[in-house]
Chains A and B, each alone.
Chain A
Amino acid sequence: MVNKFSIKNLDMYYGDFQALINVNMEILDKEITALIGPSGCGKSTFLRTLNRMNDLIEGVRVEGEILLDGENIYKDIDVTKLRTRIGMVFQKPNPFPMSVYDNVAYGPRAHGIKKKAELDEIVEKSLRRAAIWDEVKDRIKKNALSLSGGQQQRICIARALAVDPEVLLMDEPTSALDPISTLKVEDLAEELKKDITIIIVTHNMQQAARISDKTAFFLNGELIEFDETDIIFSVPKDKRTEDYITGRFG
């Protein structure tokens, strides 16, 4: 296996506040990596440095190296290109107020695909990959906001998949969903793992244990422990990891 992401001595600042402290991490291709840790420890911040989403925030500074397939994402790769290679799914489903079709076709269109036949094919394929085609195929011209929360989230996943990303970043993608929708998204993540690398932030220990290959535990901006999920949840090396997963703090 090859390293998809290689993160070296990563420091990240919001103005004067250091949100990530010397993070080192190797993320393998076609694995699911779960990021866990108490609220405010920097999980979202870390995730958003990986697709440079933090660039949008005033006063953000990043030091150290993040390599994607060996290329520095802050130096060697154009940010729009980077964001097509790395898709993102947010905590709250955020479909655009337009039709299901236009939502999914948004990314391809933004990158210049105009032919209807080609778009039709991408939309259907992405909706199938996001396991929502059967539910929406008759309502594809309907406004995406009229769907249920769980369906909206899978539309957002389909939208992210439509630009054919190599990596999918998911920031607590199921925290706003009911248990059944949650399971659907989890199954979907495991299915997608065959083709792409997934990094998922979660507050749900069972979820991390169920679906991830590796788990990273963050605390106050530091990466405390990063290992096979089985090991983290059975024999963690660090006392703080153990305290967190057994629910003693956080």
Chain B
Amino acid sequence: MKKKINFKEGLIYGIIGVATLFTIGILVFILGFIFSKGLPHLDSHFLTSQFDSTSAYVDVKLSEGTENPLGLILGEMTLKEKGSIEKQVIVVKDIEKTSLAESAVNNKGQNLAISKNDIINRIEGENVEGKSVDEVNQILNSINADKVTLRITKQGGGIFPMLMTTLMMIGLALLFSVPIGVLAAIYLVEYAKPGRFVNLVRFATESLAGIPSIIYGLFGMILFVMTLNFGYSLLAGALTLSIILLPVIIRQTEESLKAVPDSYREASFGLGANKIYTISRVIIPTAMPGIVVAIILSIGRIVGESAALLLTAGTAAKIPSSLFESGSTLTVKAYTLAKEEANIELASAIGSVIIIIILILNALSKLLSRKITKI
């Protein structure tokens, strides 16, 4: 018999339907907005170049090429400067095999390769801005020496430093938090006698998990940046992140350890294996997918974190060359771009990268969770 839907039920279904559509609508709108603004920027240049443009004088040995003795195929490009002044510059379109541009050296004698998309500002001190490709090739062809000094500008606008900083942050924060978190969970599940102490630890981790990250950021700033004098640095950021991650890792690992059937423990002890052997050979391998999920969730947390890192790792848009240097992750950079530089386009482009990373992480953890439920 077909069930009759009365008016009240119909109304409820209606409201649920509208709410669902609304939620999906918002999601589609947000993704659509960020992607439509950001995706056009995503190309290999965006992902692989520095954020700030840098200029330098380099010496290049002459060899041969189809258009000039540098073996560079040049092009013209219009550059928008601040204050919307436009100027036309000469840019390297391609580098021929015969070129020695790869082994160019700067005025300190270090190798500084000329690469695609680099702008040539000056040749032997002569400004070539506004000149045409033909004019520039003429200048180059008329040089009567075995090398030439160029002033080049490596174009910025890329997010390579932020990508690297994010990766470093992930690596460092996991390095601190995973061993501690997993060991703590093992202690809680396999060693601690159930009772007041375990309950206290559990209460503490749960409370910590609920604290907003700005609080951790303040704490990290006071302890790591100021008191321990690390300054705004990779290290201060990673340590602060580790503290944020600990409750996540402990809880998730605890759950996966508890899901290991007691019959495995009994079987192992029944064979005369000791506790450490049992934990390392049976319990951890069985709980491994859950621990990996904990790690993936943590990576998601690191990628998404902004407040705590702003206060501890700072906002430098370069790859930190030591633990004590500042560096901003993608999310922090998106924040400062939008807030301080009002560059919504670039912030959205970074946003698109972040969304793609998060989607991949989510898919990975779904895949693994399905694997866990199989055993």
Chain A residues within CB distance 8 Å of chain B:
51, 53, 56, 58, 79-84, 87-88, 90, 92, 94-98, 106-107, 109-111, 145, 156, 159-160, 163
Q: Are A94 and B375 in contact (CB under 8 A)?
A: no
B269, A53: Cβ atoms closer than 8 Å: yes
Residue in A56, A145, A156 whose beta carbon sits within 8 Å of that of B269 in the complex: A56
Q: Which of B193, B266, B268, B375 contacts A106 (CB 8 A)?
A: B268
Residue of B nearest to A103 (CB): B267
Cβ of B270 and Cβ of A160 under 8 Å apart?
yes
Total interface residues on B, using CB and 8 Å?
21
Binding site for A on B (CB under 8 A): 193-194, 261, 263-274, 277, 281-282, 285-286, 375
State A13–B277 Cα separation when bound (angstroms): 29
B263-A92 in contact (CB<8A): yes
Contacts of A97 in B (CB 8 A): 264, 285-286, 375
Q: Which residues from chain B contact A81 at a C-beta distance below 8 Å?
A: 272
Taking the closest CB of chain B, its distance from the CB of A161, in whole angstroms, is: 11
Cross-chain contact A84 with B272 (CB below 8 angstroms): yes
Nearest Cβ distance between residue B273 and chain A, in whole angstroms? 4
With the chains together, A82 CA to B272 CA distance in Å? 7
Further pairs besides A56-B265, A160-B270: 17, Cβ < 8 Å: A80-B273, A81-B272, A83-B270, A83-B271, A83-B272, A84-B271, A87-B271, A88-B266, A90-B267, A95-B267, A96-B264, A106-B281, A107-B271, A109-B281, A110-B268, A110-B273, A163-B272
B193 touches A58 (CB 8 A): yes
B272 with A111: CB separation less than 8 A: yes
User: Closest 3 CB pairs between A and B?
Assistant: A110-B273, A83-B272, A94-B263
The answer on a CB contact under 8 Å between A106 and B285 is no
Determine if A90 and B263 form an interchain contact, defined as CB atoms under 8 angstroms apart. Answer: yes
19 contacts between A and B (CB under 8 A): A56-B265, A58-B193, A79-B272, A88-B270, A90-B266, A90-B270, A94-B261, A94-B263, A95-B267, A96-B264, A97-B264, A97-B285, A97-B286, A98-B285, A106-B281, A110-B271, A110-B273, A110-B281, A163-B271
Minimum CB distance partner of A89 in chain B: B270
- B272 with A110: CB separation less than 8 A: yes
- B277 CB contact (under 8 Å) in A79, A94, A98, A110: A110
Residues of B within 8 A of A145 (CB): 375
Instruction: Return chain B residues, CB-CB under 8 Å to A87.
Output: 270-271
| A92→B264 CA distance, assembly (Å) | 11
Per the bound structure, the CA–CA distance linking A101 and B282 in Å amounts to 14
The residues of A that contact B193 with a CB separation of less than 8 Å are 58
In the complex, which residues of chain A have a beta carbon less than 8 angstroms from the beta carbon of B266? 53, 56, 88, 90, 94
